[in-house]
Amino acid sequence: MTQQLTVLENDTALSFNFDEALNYHGRGFPGGVAHGFKMLEAALPLLNGGRPVERRKLHVLTAFPGPGARDVVELVTRANTEGRYEVDIQAGDQAAVEAARGRYWFRVTYGNTVIELVVQPGIIDPEFIALGRKPDRTPEDERRQEVLKHEMANRIMALPAGQVYLARQVSE
């Protein structure tokens, strides 16, 4: 069964799968696309009593600047284009797992409902972060980083969203 993210556009259901998100993004950061997909998969059911939300009413604040996650959020919500997507690498839970830059922390707001999400321990390979932070990567490092990106995407997409992202409602 294909995993889908479903939102509403003026009460019309729109669904997006992971391959569509990868194609929209351009496939450069498949691990980041998987993060964005699973983050939304964990958050969306908590925002409107399990019913689909109006895509243009979602706001996202994140400490994760990755373009893959940003592009998934844009595809599904149009938040980046419409100024409802904000990256602040200092925002949120300082204990959240670190990325090469920033942290894997998201806050998704829909009306008065606010959900915060952090990646679960053990999801991120420390080698991936170390290579991402390495200033002068060799061609061998670049090839290894590509392998790790794909491994991360496959690992994340094989898991239920709740095993990838811990989501908690912080207000309503």
Q: Give the pLDDT confidence of 23-47 residue by residue, as tens digits.
A: 999 989 999 999 999 999 999 999 9
Predicted TM-score (pTM) of this structure: 0.95
Residue 40: strand, helix, or coil: helix
Residue 59: strand, helix, or coil: strand
Average pLDDT, stretch 12-28? Answer: 95
Average pLDDT, stretch 10-23? Answer: 96
pLDDT per position as a tens digit, 66-78: 999 999 999 999 9
Categorize the per-residue pLDDT at 2 as very low, low, confident or very high, splitting at 50, 70 and 90: low
Residue 33: strand, helix, or coil: helix
CA distance linking residue 127 with residue 35, whole number of Å:
17
> 172 and 116 in contact (C-beta within 8 Å)?
no
CA distance linking residue 104 with residue 142, whole number of Å:
22
CA distance linking residue 69 with residue 86, whole number of Å:
12
CA distance linking residue 95 with residue 119, whole number of Å:
11
Average pLDDT, stretch 17-28? Answer: 95
CA distance to 99, 158, 164, per residue, from 132 (Å)? 8, 23, 20
pLDDT per position as a tens digit, 79-132: 999 999 999 999 999 999 999 999 999 999 999 999 999 999 999 999 999 999
Q: Is the predicted pLDDT of residue 172 greater than 90, yes or no?
A: no
> 172 and 113 in contact (C-beta within 8 Å)?
yes
Mean pLDDT of the chain: 95
DSSP character string of 46-67: HHTTTSPPBGGGEEEEES---H
Domains belonging to the chain, first-starting first, are 4-171 (3.30.1330.130)
CA distance to 15, 52, 61, 98, 128, per residue, from 108 (Å)? 19, 14, 7, 19, 26
pLDDT at residue 171 in the model: 77
